[in-house]
DNA sequence: CGTGAGATTGACTGTACTCAAATGTGGTGG
DNA sequence: CCACCACATTTGAGTACAGTCAATCTCACG
């Protein structure tokens, strides 16, 4: 476990960009009083489930997390993938209305909601930051609603690949950190459709697959597929 | 225009329940320093568009508002309908990433973002309330993602009807305040599918249509359609 | 080298979409 | 009050895109 220390972010605004291997334990820059407790989860381990008490908020330090909702018959919608730097676990009421699991071995920082609220009351910057965090999430949700409601399978997959690439550094070459099932449940498709669509994109020379999860994107062409 | 006055809400938590004809101008209870400016919009009038400066936040006083995103080719996804009491117009950055229009003649209160942030810094309750507001929006967005990604047409329409009914008083009988196009663009369907689905539900004795927008729901049966 | 989970591919099906026509509704002015 | 109009909604016929079911392939790991 990393020893608690206060290394603030260089800039105020971008909390999102990955901070692989970071050892920050403060929730926000310039807020040394709001410290998080390091914690680890194994691959596929549940972080919290629907209905559980929502008295803490998490920040990913290393690894990746998915949050999702399920229907009674098992249909699942993944609402987001959370990479290093991302916050997740906000909840309006007492209990979680969705679940969270680690995609791979994952390190997080845990912050008590009560402590956050106390800090927000004392420090205007913290309050502002929280507001930004939440509206950032709202924006992502709105984008994703547009994708789920109005985009075709190819567009969904292309959008997804571009997005993951950006969040992983933007080199165009990376290993997808999740299974086809997770991708399908995020995009509102089936694994078969995701698979077929990837094959179709590869056939069109829009990407290259080398081994199971590894992909190389032709970003130009991929962006032309999305066209928004 | 209503004269500014400070009538705080009786309770702290529920800002959402409709306050038809309310004349409150304070954003939150117990926050007389944060006053809004009353403003009106006509039917179908644009409140703000994508790309415009997002320096204010709105609260619906009377009427109804829709917020949406569009793709280049015109495909549209409505991300939410906002009824009296609801806040909308939050944005993470400088500019709006979506648009908002009045469904019918609508009265709103306008609050400057800078004023809100100043108030949040001074008043812990306000900061807490803002946090709640934003996470409330996030929860709705997550529910809607599940609907868009994983639910069938009948389930979407049924869910929608139940939801509108609840927000309009829960009597089971009401006039839909929006067109089929709006419903379709909210549910990720086409107007034809919405229409057919309503006919199908009526045929099954799950609801009654009297005149264009007027409906009477058999809530029991309708809930059985949704089953979650 | 065998095993099993994950991924791909194939054949077929079904739900929701598209295009098109008919019907209903509310508003306006004679 | 009614005729007329524009527009919203419903209904119909045919299609297509993504889903289902099932077989095969790949690859990491013991």
Give the Cα separation of B224 and B228 in Å (integer).
9
Q: Is the pLDDT of residue A25 over 80?
A: no
Interchain contact B181–A (C-beta under 8 A)? no
**Beta-bridge partners for A174:** A215
Give the Cα separation of A8 and B100 in Å (integer).
37
Confidence of residue A141 (pLDDT cuts 50, 70, 90): very high
- pLDDT score, position A24: 56
- pLDDT score, position A30: 65
- Contact state of B142 with A188 under an 8 Å Cβ cutoff: no
- pLDDT score, position A130: 83
Interchain contact B168–A (C-beta under 8 A)? no
DSSP code, position B26: B
> Residue A220, class by beta-carbon neighbours within 10 Å (0-12 exposed, 13-18 middle, 19+ buried)?
exposed
Is residue A59 within 8 A of residue A26, CB to CB? The reply is no
Which chain B residues in 4-43 lie under 8 Å from chain A, judged by CB atoms?
A: none
Sign of the torsion angle spanned by Cα atoms A191, A69, B223, A142: negative
Closest residue to D27 measured CA to C1′: A212
A148-169 pLDDT, tens per residue? 999 999 999 999 999 999 999 9
Give the Cα separation of A77 and A69 in Å (integer).
5
Give the Cα separation of A223 and A161 in Å (integer).
10
Question: Which region holds residue B126: left if phi is over 0, alpha if psi is between -120 and 50, else beta?
Answer: alpha
Which chain B residues in 99-118 lie under 8 Å from chain A, judged by CB atoms?
A: 117-118
Give the Cα separation of A64 and B172 in Å (integer).
44
Q: Is the pLDDT of residue A226 over 50?
A: yes
Residues in chain A, overall count: 228
- Distance CA B47 to C1' D20 in A: 45
In terms of pLDDT, which residue wins out, B220 or A3? Answer: B220
User: Could you tell me the two tokens for A139?
Assistant: 């924006």
Nearest Cα residue in chain B from A73:
B228
Is residue B25 within 8 A of residue B2, CB to CB? The reply is yes
Domains of chain B: residue spans and CATH: 37-141 (2.60.120.10), 151-226 (1.10.10.10)
Give the Cα separation of A54 and A93 in Å (integer).
8
DSSP code, position A188: T
Give the Cα separation of A126 and B98 in Å (integer).
26
**Which helix or strand (DSSP H or E) is residue A142 part of?**
helix A124-150
Cα of A1 to nearest chain B Cα, Å = 31
- Distance CA A196 to C1' D22 in A: 16
A97-137 pLDDT, tens per residue? 999 999 999 999 999 988 888 888 788 788 888 888 889 99
Q: Is the pLDDT of residue A176 over 70?
A: yes
**Beta-bridge partners for B65:** B82, B102
- Distance CA A35 to C1' C4 in A: 44
Is residue A140 within 8 A of residue A82, CB to CB? The reply is no
Give the Cα separation of B40 and B54 in Å (integer).
18
Question: Which region holds residue A21: left if phi is over 0, alpha if psi is between -120 and 50, else beta?
Answer: left
Q: Is the pLDDT of residue A54 over 70?
A: yes
Interchain contact B69–A (C-beta under 8 A)? yes
- Contact state of B92 with A139 under an 8 Å Cβ cutoff: yes
Q: Residue B189 CB closer than 7 angstroms to strand C?
A: yes
Mean pLDDT of chain A: 87
Q: Is the pLDDT of residue A22 over 80?
A: no
Low-confidence ranges of chain B (pLDDT < 70): 1-24, 29-30
Chain A environment of B56 (Cβ under 8 Å)? none
- pLDDT score, position B30: 65
- Contact state of A131 with B135 under an 8 Å Cβ cutoff: no
Is residue A62 within 8 A of residue A21, CB to CB? The reply is yes
DSSP code, position A141: H
DSSP codes, B69-89:
EE-TTS-EEEEEEE-TT-EE-
Mean pLDDT of A182-205: 98
> Residue A100, class by beta-carbon neighbours within 10 Å (0-12 exposed, 13-18 middle, 19+ buried)?
buried
Mean pLDDT of A171-193: 97
Positions of chain D reached by protein Cβ under 7 A: 8-13, 17-22, 27-28
């Amino acid at each position: 476990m990393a020893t608690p220390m206060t290394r603030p972010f260089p800039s105020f605004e971008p909390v999102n960009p990955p901070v692989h291997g970071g050892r920050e334990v403060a929730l926000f820059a310039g807020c040394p009083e709001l410290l998080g407790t390091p914690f680890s989860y194994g691959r596929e381990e549940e972080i919290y489930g629907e209905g559980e008490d929502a008295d803490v908020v998490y920040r990913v330090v290393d690894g990746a997390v998915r949050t999702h909702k399920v229907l009674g018959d098992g249909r699942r919608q993944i609402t987001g993938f959370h990479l290093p730097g991302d916050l997740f676990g906000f909840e309006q009421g007492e209990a979680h209305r969705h679940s969270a699991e680690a995609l791979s071995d994952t390190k997080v920082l845990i912050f008590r909601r009560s402590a956050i609220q106390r800090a927000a009351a004392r420090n205007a910057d913290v309050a502002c930051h929280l507001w930004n965090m939440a509206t950032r999430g709202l924006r992502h949700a709105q984008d994703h609603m547009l994708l789920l409601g109005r985009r075709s399978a190819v567009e969904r997959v292309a959008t997804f690949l571009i997005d993951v690439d950006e969040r992983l550094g933007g080199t165009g070459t990376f290993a997808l950190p999740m299974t086809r099932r997770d991708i399908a449940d995020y995009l509102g498709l089936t694994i078969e459709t995701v698979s077929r669509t990837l094959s179709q994109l590869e056939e069109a020379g829009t990407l290259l697959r080398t081994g199971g999860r590894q992909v190389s994107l032709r970003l130009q062409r991929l962006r032309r597929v999305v066209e928004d």
